[in-house]
C-alpha cells in the first residue's frame, strides 16, 4: 500500500496496512517470536558491521529532493562552469524522480510541490530537454495551474532572478546592514536558526548586488500570463504582523537608493568576513549545501575569482555532496550525517549484544572521540562563558555542534569498553557540561542554540522556505534527558525541569510531536525511553497514555508508519501511514521502555520487522522518515532503516540497555570527569 498523493486538497486517509511480506514464508512456523527476533538481530548485526568505514564511521545516503540537484546546476550555470557530464548525470536523476502527473514531490508518495517542480523543470531545460517534450509539457501545464512562477517561494524566485527570469524589484529586500545588528536587537542574525543564519548572511550580499546573468532561454511557459509575469502580491491587513512586515519591506525597497554606497559596501564586506571566518576546513559552510551555494555566489559577486583558495575549496566541497549511482545518475545530498549515523550504529550494535570491547565498536569510539569540537562556535554568542565540548552532525562543522548529536554520542560512548577510559570519561564530561550549558530558559533544549525562540524571523516576507528558528523540541530534549539519566543525573534539578517540560508537552492523545523525525511516532519513540530512564515507572499516567496511543495506531500488518502529512493535518494523519522499518522500531522502543515486552502489540511489531527483513540482513525503506523542516523539507536517512530496527530488536532480545551510572556527587554539578563544575544558575541561563 502507498499513501495517496493528492495532498493539496486533503488526501484520503490511508487504510490499515494488511499486506503480508513475501518473506513471511522464510520464518519456520514453529519458531517463537524470541527466536525469530534473535535470528533477525544476528543478520542485521552482520549487515551493519559490514558497512563500517575503515576509519570507524558509518554514513548512509541522505536523500532529500531534486531542488538540491537543480540548484547545483543553476549555480554552475551562473558561475560558467557547468559541464556536460555533470549536467547529463544530474538530469538523469531529476527525470527519474518525476511523477506521472508531471510534478516533483518533496518526499516519497507526497503531493506535487510547485517550487520543486519549477526548479526541476528549469534544470532539465538547462540539460537540453525541450519544452514541448511530453514530460516537460505536462510539468509546465501543472505549474501554470498552480499559479506559475509568481506563486513559488522566495528562494525559487531568487534563483530565477539571477538569470533575469524574475525581477529583483519583486523580491523581498534583505539589507546587508543586518550583519551589524547587536544580538539584543530584534531580527539580528542570531535570532535565526543556524541553518537560516548561514543562508541569510550571504543572501544579503546577493540581494544588494542584484546580479543578472543572460538567460539561456525564456520561461514564458511557466507564467500564467507571460505578458504580466510579475503580478503584485496582495497585502495582508495593516494591523496584522504579516501586514506590518510587508509594509516594512516596502519601506526598505524605497530606502534602497538612499543608503550611502560606502555604508553598503562596508556592510557587505563585514558580511563577507563573517562568511569566510565560518568556512570549515573542508571548504564547506556548516556542513550543509545551501549555505555553501549562496556563500560562493556572494563572494564571487564581491570579486573573489574561482581560483581563490576560499572559492576553490568551497566548490570542491560541493562535489563531495554528490552521490553517483550505478545507473550513471548523480544525486546531491543536502548534508552528510556521519557522526549521527555512527553514534546510532554504535548504540544499535551494543544493544544487539555485540561485546562492549568489540574491535569495531572501539574503532567507532575512537573516531567519535576525534570528532569532539573543542573550540567555540556561533552558539557561544549566547553562552560566552561555556566551554566547548559538543559534537556536530557532519564530517566538518566546528561552528555548529548540536545538542542532539552530543547526547547520542555520549550514550554511544558509554556502551563501549575503551582502551583509554580516562580519555573517554573526559570527552563525555565535556559533552555533558556543554549540553547542560545549552539548556533553554524553559528547561528544554533546541538543536543548536539557546532560547532561539524569537517570533519575528518567521514573519519576514523573505522567510517562506521552512523553519527559520530553533525552539526547544521534545525529541531533542528527550535524548538529553536520557543521556543525563545514564550519567547519573536523573535527579539533578536541571533534568527534573526537563522532565516536567516533556510531561507538559504531551499531546492529548498521548503522543509527542517529533521535530526532527516523522513525527508523532518519532517524538513518542524518543520521549518514553527518556522518561523511564529518568525514573518514571511504566505505570505513570503519561506512559500509559503513550502506550495506549501507540497500540491504537498500529497497522493491521503489525508495523507502524506515519505519513509526513501529519505535519500539515496533524490529528487526521498522526501515526497513520504505510508501515516502515524505522517507525516500527521507534514504536517498539517506546513500548519496550514502558515494560510492554510481553504484549501482543510488541510481538506483532517484532514479527513485522523479522518478516520484512531482507536476506542480507537489511530493510528497504523508500519512505521519508526524517525531518529537516516539518513538511517543507523531508529527509530519507538511508541508515535509519538499519540502525533503529536493530536497536529495537536488540532490546527485545536482550532487554533494556544498561543501568545508569552512580549519581554525581553534587546535584548542582556535572560529573567530575569533566574537570569543571557547572553551576545550576549558569545551566539555566540565568
Task: Output the CA–CA distances (angstroms, integers) from residue 203 to 32, 73, 198, 211, 306, in the order listed.
Answer: 59, 18, 9, 12, 19
pLDDT at residue number 616: 97
Dump pLDDT digits (tens) for 51-62: 999 999 999 999
Dump pLDDT digits (tens) for 397-432: 999 999 999 999 999 999 999 999 999 999 999 999
Cβ neighbours of 567 (radius 10 Å): 22
Between CA 175 and CA 71 the distance in angstroms is 23
pLDDT at residue number 15: 40
pTM over 0.85: yes
- The answer, yes or no, to whether residue 451 has pLDDT greater than 70, is yes
Any idea which architecture 63-219+238-332 has in CATH? Answer: Alpha/alpha barrel (1.50)
Q: What is the mean pLDDT of residues 327-343?
A: 96
pLDDT at residue number 197: 94
pLDDT at residue number 659: 59
pLDDT at residue number 265: 96
pLDDT at residue number 226: 86
pLDDT at residue number 537: 96
- The answer, yes or no, to whether residue 610 has pLDDT greater than 70, is yes
> Binning pLDDT at 50, 70 and 90, where does residue 273 land?
very high
Segments of 230-344 assigned E as strands:
322-324, 330-332
Q: What is the mean pLDDT of residues 84-111?
A: 97
Catalytic residue among 404, 425, 449, 557: 404
For the chain, give the mean pLDDT.
90
Helix, strand, coil percent values for the chain (each to nearest 5): 50, 5, 45
Contact 643, 344 (CB under 8 A): yes
pLDDT at residue number 466: 73
> Binning pLDDT at 50, 70 and 90, where does residue 252 land?
confident
pLDDT at residue number 664: 47
| Percent with pLDDT over 70 in the chain | 91
Q: Where are the domains of the chain?
A: 30-60+337-450+474-663, 63-219+238-332
pLDDT at residue number 16: 40
> Binning pLDDT at 50, 70 and 90, where does residue 374 land?
very high
pLDDT at residue number 669: 38
- The answer, yes or no, to whether residue 642 has pLDDT greater than 70, is yes
Any idea which architecture 30-60+337-450+474-663 has in CATH? Answer: Alpha/alpha barrel (1.50)
| H or E segment to which residue 558 belongs | none
> Binning pLDDT at 50, 70 and 90, where does residue 2 land?
very low
Is 404 among the catalytic positions? yes
> Binning pLDDT at 50, 70 and 90, where does residue 9 land?
very low
Is 422 buried (19+), middle (13-18) or exposed (0-12) by CB count in 10 A? Answer: exposed
- The answer, yes or no, to whether residue 11 has pLDDT greater than 50, is no
Dump pLDDT digits (tens) for 306-318: 999 999 999 999 9
Q: What is the mean pLDDT of residues 442-462?
A: 91
Dump pLDDT digits (tens) for 27-50: 445 579 999 999 999 999 999 999
pLDDT at residue number 250: 81
**Cα angle, residue 363 at apex, residues 627 and 447 outer, rounded to 5°:** 25
Q: Do domains 30-60+337-450+474-663 and 63-219+238-332 have the same CATH topology?
A: yes
Locus of grid cell 500564467: 224
Dump pLDDT digits (tens) for 464-509: 777 899 999 999 999 999 999 999 999 999 999 999 999 999 999 9
Dump pLDDT digits (tens) for 210-250: 999 999 999 999 999 888 887 877 777 877 777 777 777 78
Between CA 13 and CA 4 the distance in angstroms is 8
Own/partner long-range contacts of 659-665 (Cβ < 8 Å, ≥24 apart): 660/485, 660/486, 660/487, 660/488, 660/490, 660/533, 661/414, 661/486, 661/487, 661/488, 662/488, 663/488, 663/489, 663/490, 663/491, 664/487, 664/488, 664/489, 664/492
Dump pLDDT digits (tens) for 502-541: 999 999 999 999 999 999 999 999 999 999 999 999 999 9
SS (H, E, C) 279-308: ECCCCCECCEHHHHHHHHHHHHHCCCCCCC
Q: Which residues lie across from 627 on neighbouring strands? A: 634
Query: Quick one: how many helices (H) and strands (E) in the chain?
Result: 24, 5
pLDDT at residue number 29: 54
Amino acid at each position: 500500500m502507498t499513501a495517496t498523493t493528492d495532498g493539496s486538497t486533503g488526501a484520503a486517509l490511508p487504510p490499515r496496512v494488511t499486506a503480508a511480506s513475501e518473506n513471511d514464508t522464510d520464518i519456520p512456523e514453529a519458531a517463537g517470536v524470541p527466536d525469530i527476533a534473535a535470528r533477525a538481530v544476528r543478520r542485521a548485526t552482520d549487515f551493519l558491521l559490514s558497512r563500517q568505514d575503515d576509519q570507524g564511521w558509518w554514513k548512509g545516503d541522505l536523500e532529500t529532493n531534486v531542488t538540491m540537484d537543480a540548484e547545483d546546476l543553476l549555480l554552475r550555470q551562473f558561475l560558467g562552469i557547468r559541464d556536460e557530464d555533470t549536467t547529463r548525470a544530474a538530469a538523469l536523476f531529476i527525470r527519474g524522480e518525476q511523477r506521472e502527473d508531471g510534478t516533483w514531490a518533496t518526499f516519497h508518495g507526497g503531493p506535487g510541490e510547485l517550487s520543486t517542480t519549477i526548479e526541476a523543470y528549469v534544470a532539465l531545460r538547462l540539460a537540453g530537454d525541450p519544452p514541448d517534450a511530453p514530460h516537460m509539457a505536462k510539468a509546465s501545464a501543472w505549474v501554470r495551474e498552480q499559479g506559475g512562477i509568481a506563486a513559488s517561494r522566495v528562494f525559487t524566485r531568487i534563483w530565477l532572478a539571477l538569470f533575469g527570469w524574475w525581477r529583483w524589484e519583486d523580491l523581498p529586500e534583505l539589507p546587508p546592514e543586518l550583519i551589524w545588528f547587536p544580538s539584543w536587537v530584534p531580527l539580528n542574525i542570531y535570532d535565526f536558526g543556524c541553518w537560516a543564519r548561514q543562508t541569510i548572511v550571504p543572501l544579503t550580499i546577493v540581494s544588494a548586488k542584484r546580479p543578472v546573468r543572460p538567460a539561456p532561454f525564456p520561461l514564458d511557459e511557466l507564467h500564467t500570463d507571460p505578458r504580466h509575469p510579475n503580478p503584485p502580491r496582495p497585502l495582508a491587513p495593516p494591523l496584522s504582523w504579516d501586514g506590518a512586515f510587508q509594509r516594512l519591506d516596502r519601506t526598505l525597497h524605497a530606502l534602497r537608493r538612499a543608503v550611502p554606497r560606502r555604508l553598503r559596501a562596508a556592510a557587505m564586506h563585514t558580511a563577507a568576513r563573517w562568511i569566510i571566518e565560518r568556512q570549515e576546513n573542508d571548504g564547506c559552510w556548516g556542513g550543509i549545501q545551501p549555505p555553501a551555494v549562496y556563500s560562493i555566489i556572494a563572494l564571487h559577486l564581491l570579486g573573489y575569482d574561482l581560483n581563490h583558495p576560499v572559492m576553490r575549496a568551497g566548490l570542491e566541497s560541493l562535489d563531495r555532496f554528490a552521490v553517483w549511482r550505478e545507473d550513471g545518475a548523480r544525486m546531491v545530498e543536502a548534508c552528510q550525517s556521519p557522526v549521527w549515523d555512527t553514534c546510532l550504529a554504535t548504540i544499535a550494535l551494543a544493544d544487539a549484544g555485540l561485546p562492549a570491547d568489540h574491535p569495531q565498536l572501539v574503532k567507532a569510539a575512537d573516531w567519535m572521540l576525534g570528532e569532539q569540537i573543542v573550540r567555540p562556535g556561533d552558539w557561544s554568542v549566547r553562552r560566552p562563558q561555556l566551554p566547548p565540548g559538543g559534537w556536530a552532525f557532519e564530517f566538518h562543522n566546528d561552528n555548529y555542534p548540536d545538542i542532539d548529536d552530543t547526547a547520542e554520542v555520549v550514550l554511544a560512548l558509554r556502551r563501549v569498553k575503551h582502551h583509554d577510559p580516562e580519555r573517554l570519561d573526559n570527552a563525555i564530561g565535556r559533552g555533558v557540561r556543554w549540553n547542560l550549558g545549552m539548556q533553554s530558559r524553559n528547561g528544554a533544549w533546541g538543536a543548536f542554540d539557546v532560547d532561539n525562540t524569537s517570533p519575528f524571523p518567521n514573519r519576514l516576507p523573505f522567510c517562506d522556505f521552512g523553519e527559520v528558528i530553533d525552539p526547544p523540541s521534545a525529541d531533542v530534549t528527550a535524548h538529553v534527558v536520557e543521556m543525563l539519566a545514564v550519567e547519573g543525573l536523573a535527579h539533578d534539578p536541571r533534568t527534573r525541569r526537563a522532565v516536567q517540560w516533556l510531561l507538559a508537552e504531551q499531546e492529548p492523545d498521548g503522543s509527542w510531536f517529533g521535530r526532527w523525525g516523522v513525527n508523532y511516532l518519532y517524538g513518542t519513540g524518543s520521549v518514553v525511553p527518556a522518561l523511564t530512564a529518568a525514573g518514571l515507572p511504566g505505570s505513570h499516567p503519561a506512559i500509559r497514555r503513550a502506550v495506549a496511543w501507540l497500540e491504537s495506531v498500529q497497522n493491521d500488518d503489525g508495523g507502524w508508519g506515519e505519513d509526513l502529512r501529519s505535519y500539515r493535518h496533524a490529528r487526521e494523519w498522526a501515526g497513520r501511514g504505510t508501515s516502515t522499518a524505522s517507525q516500527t522500531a521507534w514504536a517498539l522502543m517506546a513500548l519496550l521502555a514502558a515494560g510492554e515486552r510481553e504484549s501482543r502489540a510488541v510481538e506483532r511489531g517484532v514479527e513485522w520487522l523479522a518478516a520484512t527483513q531482507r536476506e542480507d540482513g537489511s530493510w528497504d525503506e523508500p519512505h521519508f522518515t526524517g525531518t529537516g523542516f516539518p513538511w517543507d523539507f523531508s529527509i530519507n536517512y538511508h541508515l535509519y532503516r538499519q540502525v533503529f530496527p536493530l536497536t529495537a530488536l536488540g532490546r527485545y532480545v536482550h532487554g533494556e540497555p544498561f543501568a545508569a551510572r552512580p549519581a554525581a556527587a553534587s546535584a548542582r554539578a556535572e560529573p567530575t570527569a569533566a574537570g569543571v563544575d557547572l553551576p545550576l544558575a549558569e545551566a539555566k541561563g540565568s
